[in-house]
Structure 1
Amino acid sequence: MAKNLSLVLSITLLLLVIQPIRGHSFKSLQHLVGSHKGQTVKGLHEIKHYLSAFGYLKLNRSTGLSNDHASVKDEFDEHLELAIKSFQKNFHLNVTGRLDSSTLDVMMTPRCGVSDIDDNMSPNYALFPGKPKWGKKFLTYTINSGVTREVLDKLSFALQTGFEEWHKHTQFTFARGRPTSTSDIGIGIMHIDGPRKVLADSVAPTSGKMRFDADENWSINDKPNVDQIDMVSVATHEIGHIIGLGHSTHPDAVMYPYLNGGVIRRKLSQDDIDGVFALYGKP
């Protein structure tokens, strides 16, 4: 099979511009519950940066905001209200424009670092802008990482399991190989932002870039503990990005961006399958 491989999937370390909430838990932001337009509440700037990181709010001069963290004020203005409404609509929450407990609860859930796409397809899945995709279906991947053998073995198992799941429903064949050039660095585990925040991230075709957060308590067990993140579920999700799918708003979909500790989401839902068929056609 290796002789027929005509395209290398180079999955490498990519430092995306993401600014998720740092150092906060849902409990620590509990005082924001009920905040609404017209108020000034300490901590709202963290929500603004969160919404900016995942595609709901632009921090620039046109909105009177700044990318400088210190310059973002704790004022609940119309821009924040619209961003919260968009976030609530995207995840099937009650669209109020207020920071209710349900909205904050979703925000505080560990998630993928890839931005959400507002213009979801019907009904839930999304494709990247321009619908980028691979021109061939035989892809190889490599793993380069300085982590321990135990973590590397977990990653190898997670990737193999995730690739097999996508292979069941697509024309893709994935095989582990060796880098053919200095640019083919491979999948990496590195520090992103600490545990229980951004779990992993990746980019659309045809870059093939993926990374995992070394600070997470990763598990590959069938029943992870509530303090563990299932690496197989995360790997399967990131592979979906690699082949061209954006985030789904369906909570049962592999491409749903949030994943709590102890939760497994390894099998493609019909929404995931519909999305990949929309991009590549049926096998």
Structure 2
Amino acid sequence: MLNRILILTIALLSITAGADKTKIDERALSYLKRYGYSTCESSSTSKVRCSESPALMLKTFQRYFGLKITGKLDKSTRAMMNRPRCTVIDKPSRSHGPLGMASGFKWPRLSLKYRIESFATDRQIKQEDQIRIIEEAFNEWSKYTSIKFVMVCPSCPADMFIRFERGDHGDGSAFSESTLAHAFFPTDGRIHFNSDFTWTAS
């Protein structure tokens, strides 16, 4: 009986594997994995190994962003993948480092201190304007929560740490060319912006 079940299972798997001939390149698979759609991995020989149907992953991505659901890496899907974005994952998972939309991570108090450890270049936007804009953003958060945010000096003890970084900046989550920023769960507190983008006050 077990042999029959195994034979039937293998046959069904073969049919399923043969049916999905969706073409998807390694860059697209890497994107889907990074943002929570895939468990695919790329081997050292650049051959893509995947435990999920590419068509299913693409359909999930298309549904999430309100695109036409084709299950194919079409023009509109690729364009959406190429848009600048933050690294908040679309399908939450606590296994990811940068902040995903998950619950259960809380600050132990309602008064939080933040410090700005580095800035975007002055030719993009003046430091005083950056300080003002960040303060305004935290004040906006405070309107809808019980949390109060207080800025402290760059060397003072703090709960949150704001930096402008480039590329692989040592936190295990290198910026890609389309990543605007990322943050980490409480109580880590790191907030990083991509300096390769041009930041303005408007």
TM-score of the two chains, using structure 1 as the length reference:
0.51
Tell me which residue corresponds to 1:82: 56
Percent identity over the alignment is 29
Tell me which residue corresponds to 1:278: none
Amino acid at match of 2:73: L
Tell me which residue corresponds to 2:145: 170
SS of match in other structure, 2:196: coil
* Closer, same or farther: CA 162–91 of 1 in aligned 2, 3 Å: same
Deviation of 1:53 (Å)? 1.1
SS of match in other structure, 2:161: coil
- Work out the CA distance in 1 between the residues paired with 2:129 and 2:91: 30
Tell me which residue corresponds to 2:68: 94
SS of match in other structure, 2:84: coil
Are 2:115 and 2:151, in contact at CA under 8 Å, matched by a contact in 1? yes
Deviation of 1:52 (Å)? 1.0
Are 1:137 and 1:173, in contact at CA under 8 Å, matched by a contact in 2? yes
Tell me which residue corresponds to 1:281: none
Provide structure 1 residue ranges, at least 5 long, that are not aligned to the other structure.
1-35, 60-64, 120-125, 222-283
Higher-Rg structure is 2
Alignment of 1:120-135 (within 5 A): 127-128=101-102, 130-135=103-108
TM-score of the two chains, using structure 2 as the length reference:
0.69
Task: Identify the match of residue 21 of structure 2 among 17, 23, 38.
Answer: 38
Deviation of 1:133 (Å)? 1.7
CA RMSD of aligned residues (A): 3.0
* Closer, same or farther: CA 148–96 of 1 in aligned 2, 3 Å: closer
Which structure has more relative contact order (CA 8 Å, sep 6+)? It is 1
Are 1:133 and 1:205, in contact at CA under 8 Å, matched by a contact in 2? yes
SS of match in other structure, 1:139: strand
The answer as to 2:162 corresponding to 1:187 is yes
Task: Identify the match of residue 189 of structure 2 among 208, 215, 222.
Answer: 208
- Work out the CA distance in 2 between the residues paired with 1:92 and 1:100: 14
Larger strand fraction of residues: 2
Are 1:37 and 1:98, in contact at CA under 8 Å, matched by a contact in 2? no
Tell me which residue corresponds to 1:112: 86
Deviation of 1:107 (Å)? 1.1
Deviation of 1:108 (Å)? 1.3
* Closer, same or farther: CA 40–94 of 1 in aligned 2, 3 Å: closer
Tell me which residue corresponds to 2:39: 58
Superposed CA offset, 1:206-259 (max 9, x none): 2111101111011112xxxxxxxxxxxxxxxxxxxxxxxxxxxxxxxxxxxxxx
Provide structure 2 residue ranges, at least 5 long, that are not aligned to the other structure.
1-18, 94-99, 168-174
SS of match in other structure, 1:189: strand
Tell me which residue corresponds to 2:11: none
SS of match in other structure, 2:26: helix
Deviation of 1:166 (Å)? 1.0
Deviation of 1:134 (Å)? 1.7
Q: How many residues are aligned here?
A: 168
SS of match in other structure, 1:211: strand
Superposed CA offset, 1:19-60 (max 9, x none): xxxxxxxxxxxxxxxxx941556xx1110111111111112x
